Amino acid sequence: MVDKRKGTFIVFEGIDGTGKSTQIDRLADVLRLLGHEVIETREPTEGIYGRQIRALYQNRHMVSVDEELDLFIKDRRDHIDNLIIPSLAAAKIVLCDRYYLSTAAYQGAAGCNPDEIIARHDFAPEPDLAIIIEVDPRTCITRITEKRGDLLNDFEQLESLKKVDSIFKQMDLPYIERIDGSASEEQVHQQVVRLIDRLLPHLTLSDTPEPL
């Protein structure tokens, strides 16, 4: 499907436990308050391939790294065709929790070449902005285990998270912006708002009244 973009495509990236989904929810609230149509979405999706990926969380070694990479790419193709491109064509603001930079970082950490992974995404619309939220991997692990009470899944072990983090740090693409996710939720939100203000100055987000 051809990308006839009228909307805006913003993706959030970072290792597990950086607070992406909280920040996406807060940004979506502000944008909706200003009257914009916002689509909040995430990868892996709830589609057939996304469900297969979730089944792998508990035991990654059920498939090879290449098969795992193929699953993430198939999931993304469906997501792009069924939701991302139609939403952008309808002038909506799409906020996506993880996109192909996650594949480059995570499957890169698992042994694939991150640049080749990005090159395999020539079918995928480029984001207008990719916000990488940076938090020290140890802090992320503490957040995941203590605050969420979650058991770590196979994608989230400390050593592999450190590798993923270092690949995210090496990425250098014109649409990437980095923010410090170790600050308070409110401070991180303000950093996000500043980036969106720069991307979409006509929205004047920083003037938004507090919700009642």
Binding site for ligand TYD (CB under 6 A): 16, 43-44, 72, 97-98, 102-103, 106-107, 155-156
Q: Which residue lies nearest ligand TYD, judged by its C-beta?
A: 106
Nearer to ligand TYD, 47 or 197 (CB): 47
Angle between helices 100-109 and 65-79 (to 10 degrees): 170
Q: Given the complex with ligand TYD, which of 42 and 189 has the nearer CB atom?
A: 42
Distance CA 126, CA 122 (A): 9
Least distance to ligand TYD, CB of residue 183, Å: 21
CA distance linking residue 69 with residue 63, whole number of Å: 10
CA 178 – CA 184 distance, rounded (Å): 16
207 contacts: CB under 8 Å, gap ≥ 6? none
Q: Find where tokens 């995928």 sit.
A: 124
Residue 148: Cβ within 10 Å count:
10
Q: How far is the CB of 155 from ligand TYD (least distance, A)?
A: 3
The nearer residue to ligand TYD, 9 or 72, going by C-beta atoms, is: 72
Q: Which two tokens stand for residue 73?
A: 């790419």
Q: Which CB, 92 or 98, lies closer to ligand TYD?
A: 98
Least Cβ distance, residue 109 to ligand TYD (angstroms): 8
CB of 44 to ligand TYD, least distance (A): 6
Smallest separation (angstroms) from ligand TYD to the CB of 209: 31
Beta carbons of 120 and 36 less than 8 angstroms apart: no
Pair 69, 103: CB distance under 8 Å: yes
Q: Considering beta carbons, is residue 79 or 92 the nearer one to ligand TYD?
A: 79
Least separation in angstroms between CB 21 and ligand TYD: 7
Q: Which is nearer to ligand TYD, 58 or 190 (CB)?
A: 58
> From residue 155, how far is each of 63, 183, 187 by CA, in Å?
14, 24, 28
d(CA 149, CA 104): 28
